[in-house]
């Protein structure tokens, strides 16, 4: 990994104690086994194909589709609307029907279909706060019904938007099957599907550009990325593998943009930082609904074939988003698939002219590449009423950008490709590709050098022991009742944790985890037990006895999951804890 710094001369660094600031870094592959992804199946595949009660919405009025097309064609912003949110309360033909119930191993499944007539794809907005711990949702579409997406109840609650709505994965076809598993010991007949809304998409996630003709597929001048891998080499392959299409909810619609997976300067962490545009993701409500698509590209030049197109659901955390720069930085809640690359970046000033490359998903199409020139910087750029204080200008010799390209990176080469900014909008198109800026061949990009001071703490911070999030809450092992860890975060990176275990007689044992941060998101230390006199009217602190019973290590792998390894009272074990949500 390349890391460069700027600062004063060495003599002043020593005498003045000036700290150098990292301003760029290189790329590195994501260290994930590409074959490790587990295929999800229905709980009972033989019976899952049977018909289920259906929550039905009628065909979407053509006027609403035309209004969406009109907004897309009139906007200079490059985010692209691909769906309309439909409120179940006002648009469903009937109330939500009761699901079918079927006994399966270790519990019961509830099945319900949601259908929006004529949709190319669906997302379903569910209220999940009342789902019991241990429950799990699985969903699939009708066109690619063997592609099933799963999420447990605790994770769904944590990844719901601030209004309490969890959006399912995008599935092909006008019907989405919902299967909710309820563990044994819970009355499944009392569990309900609370469906808030349905997003009716006119573009399917698995189709090639031909499936997007309801909105107009990407322009004829666009270039498949595979058509340039031979001439641009492995560095370009790394670049394209860092770029993903994102789909998200905003207001009353579903939109698509493009983003780039960014590296940071701490090689040990590989946190999935994701750079895109403010006008795509401007608040946490939108960030919570993000689902990303990886390797959505044709393997053969000029042949419409979608390739693997791996969807990673789970939302994201909004770390930065600012209208005046149009930059946005997300932290994805779930890791991208194996083969993805954490791309390098450069926060220095970009000289003029400079050769540039753009990689993006125009109109949500398969991945494309544009080649051109950075021609200068413009101030107070007005794009559909959003004023960028300063923006990079780009013009294209080959290819162009379109709606859906928003947030995609502007990249330069210096031993490897590096991100310099993200697409805000412009007037470039196939009609003026190869022409001058005066002909309209001009796009505007956010400037990473202006965004960098606000995000350097994330992508350019030194490796520090401590948490990257607040992990306060109740953490449990859903498959084993009667045990868990209560965690409380305080200032100065202090973690107070109590571990409780109940035996089969209902008797409690309480332990304190004497936690010290020993790495990024890693806490280790002693496990101690306090004993003393029974409860009574008087208390003598001198009667307390502290005994070490073992050691532990807590490794937080996400906002809602942690690995808990312990050796206590002769028991050596490693388990996965899940953070519970109390509503």
Residue bearing tokens 């996630």: 205
Lowest mean pLDDT among 29-43, 101-115, 341-355, 522-536: 29-43
pLDDT of residue 37: 60
> Mean pLDDT, to the nearest integer, of 220-248?
96
- Mean pLDDT for 269-282 is 95
CB distance 322 to 451 below 8 Å: yes
Rg over alpha carbons for the chain, rounded to the nearest Å, is 26
**Residue 261 Cα distances to 69, 123, 338, 375, 578, angstroms:** 29, 24, 13, 25, 26
434 or 214, greater pLDDT: 434
Structure-derived torsion over alpha carbons of residues 461, 462, 465, 471, reported in degrees to the nearest 10: 10
pLDDT band at 264 (very low <50, low <70, confident <90, very high): very high
Angle (CA) 275 263 445, round 5°: 30
Note the pLDDT of residue 6: 39
* pLDDT at position 581 over 70: no
What is the predicted pLDDT for the residue at 214?
31
pLDDT(564) > 80: yes
Give the C-alpha separation, 490 to 502, whole Å. 27
Per-residue confidence (pLDDT) for residue 13, from 0 to 100: 26
> What average pLDDT does the segment 566-575 reach?
85
* Rounded mean pLDDT, 52-68: 94
The pTM of this model reads: 0.79
- Position 36 scores a pLDDT of 55
Predicted local confidence at residue 235, as pLDDT: 97
Contact 112, 97 (CB under 8 A): yes
Residue 203's CB is within 10 A of a number of other CB atoms, namely 27
**The pLDDT value given to residue 9:** 27
Total Cβ atoms within 10 A of residue 253: 19
Largest Cα–Cα separation, the chain: 88
Outline where 428-490 has alpha helix (H). 448-459
pLDDT at 210 over 70: no
- Report the run of H or E that residue 547 belongs to, with start and end: strand 545-556
**Measured in Å, how far apart are the chain's first and last C-alpha atoms?**
43
* Residue 55 pLDDT exceeds 60: yes
Cα dihedral 344, 349, 354, 359 sign: positive
What pLDDT was estimated at residue 16? 29
Q: Mean of the pLDDT values across residues 485-499?
A: 87
Report the range of poorest mean pLDDT among 133-137, 235-239, 306-310: 306-310
The per-residue pLDDT for 582 is 56
Per-residue pLDDT band for 98 (boundaries 50, 70, 90) equals: very high
**Interior CA angle at 363 toward 359 and 365, to 5°?**
65
Choose the weakest-confidence range: 176-190, 202-216, 322-336, 384-398.
202-216
Beta bridge partners of 566: 552, 573
- Under DSSP, the state recorded for 362 is G
Residue 41 predicted with pLDDT over 70: yes
Residues with catalytic function: 279, 326, 406
Q: Greater confidence, 32 or 84?
A: 84
What is the band of 207 on the pLDDT scale with cuts at 50, 70, 90?
A: low
For residue 244, list its beta bridge partners: 259
Band (pLDDT 50/70/90 cuts) for residue 211 is: very low
Q: Of the candidates 189, 192, 185, 98, which has an alpha carbon nearest to the alpha carbon of residue 137? A: 192
Count of beta carbons in the 10 Å neighbourhood of residue 310: 19
Whether the pLDDT of residue 404 is over 80: the answer is yes
Mean pLDDT of the chain: 87
Peptide bond into 342 cis (omega under 30): no
302-306, 328-332, 437-441, 457-461: lowest mean pLDDT where?
302-306
Render pLDDT for 3-35 as a digit per residue (tens, 0 to 9): 444 332 222 222 223 334 568 899 999 987 655
* Weakest mean pLDDT among 157-161, 238-242, 246-250, 479-483: 479-483
Asked which of 23-32, 208-217, 394-403 is least confident by mean pLDDT, the reply is: 208-217
CB contact set of 435 (below 8 Å; sequence gap of 6+): 395, 441
pLDDT mean over 527-552: 78
What residue ranges define each of the domains in the chain, with the CATH number in brackets? 3-15+22-30+222-459 (2.40.10.120), 45-58+93-201 (2.60.120), 473-579 (no CATH)
């Amino acid at each position: 990994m390349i890391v460069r710094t700027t600062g004063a001369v060495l003599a002043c660094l020593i005498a003045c104690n000036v700290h150098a600031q990292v301003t760029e870094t290189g790329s590195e592959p994501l260290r994930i086994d590409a074959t490790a992804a587990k295929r999800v199946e229905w709980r009972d595949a033989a019976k899952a194909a049977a018909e289920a009660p259906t929550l039905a919405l009628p065909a979407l009025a053509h006027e609403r589709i035309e209004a969406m097309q009109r907004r897309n064609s009139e906007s200079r912003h490059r985010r692209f609307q691909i769906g309309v949110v439909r409120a179940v309360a006002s648009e469903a033909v009937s109330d939500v029907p009761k699901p079918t119930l079927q006994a399966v191993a270790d519990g019961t499944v509830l099945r319900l279909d949601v259908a929006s007539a004529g949709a190319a794809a669906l997302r379903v907005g569910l209220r999940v706060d009342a789902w019991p711990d241990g429950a799990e949702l699985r969903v699939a579409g009708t066109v690619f019904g063997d592609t099933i997406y799963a999420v447990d109840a605790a994770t769904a609650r944590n990844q719901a938007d601030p209004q309490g709505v969890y959006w399912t994965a995008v599935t092909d076809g006008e019907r989405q099957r919902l299967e909710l598993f309820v563990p044994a010991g819970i009355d499944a007949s009392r569990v309900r599907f609370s469906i808030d809304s349905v997003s009716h998409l006119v573009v399917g996630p698995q189709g090639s550009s031909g499936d997007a003709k309801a909105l107009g597929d990407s322009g004829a001048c666009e270039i498949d990325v595979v058509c340039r891998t031979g001439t641009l080499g492995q560095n370009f392959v790394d670049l394209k593998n860092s770029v993903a299409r994102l789909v998200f909810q905003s207001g009353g619609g579903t939109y698509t943009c493009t983003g780039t997976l960014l590296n940071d300067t701490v090689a040990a962490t590989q946190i999935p930082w994701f750079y895109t545009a403010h006008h795509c993701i401007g608040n946490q409500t939108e960030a919570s609904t993000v689902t990303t698509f990886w390797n959505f590209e044709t393997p053969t030049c000029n042949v419409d074939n979608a390739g693997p197109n791996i969807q990673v659901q789970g939302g994201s955390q909004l770390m930065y988003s600012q209208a005046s720069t149009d930059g946005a930085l997300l932290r994805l809640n779930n890791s991208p698939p194996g083969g993805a690359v954490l791309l390098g970046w450069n926060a220095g000033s970009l000289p003029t002219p400079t050769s540039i490359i753009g990689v993006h998903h125009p109109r949500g199409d398969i991945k494309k590449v544009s080649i051109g020139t950075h021609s200068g910087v413009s101030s107070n750029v007005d794009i559909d009423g959003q004023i960028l204080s300063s923006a990079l200008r780009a013009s294209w010799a080959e290819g162009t950008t379109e709606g859906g390209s928003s947030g995609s990176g502007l990249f330069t080469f210096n031993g490897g490709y590096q991100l310099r900014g993200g697409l805000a909008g412009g007037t470039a198109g196939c009609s003026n590709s190869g022409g001058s800026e005066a002909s309209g061949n001009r796009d505007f990009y956010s400037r990473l050098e202006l965004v960098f001071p606000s995000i350097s703490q994330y992508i350019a911070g030194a490796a520090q022991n401590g948490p990257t999030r607040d992990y306060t809450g109740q953490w449990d092992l859903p498959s084993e009742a009667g045990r868990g860890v209560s965690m409380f975060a305080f200032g100065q990176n202090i973690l107070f944790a109590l571990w409780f275990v109940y035996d089969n007689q209902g008797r409690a044992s309480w332990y304190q985890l004497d936690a010290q941060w020993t790495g990024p998101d890693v806490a280790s230390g002693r496990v101690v037990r306090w004993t003393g006199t029974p409860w009574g009217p008087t208390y003598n602190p001198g009667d307390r006895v502290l005994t070490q019973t073992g050691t532990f290590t807590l490794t937080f792998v996400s906002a809602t999951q942690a690995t808990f390894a312990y050796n206590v009272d002769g028991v050596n074990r490693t388990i996965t804890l899940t953070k519970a949500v109390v509503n």
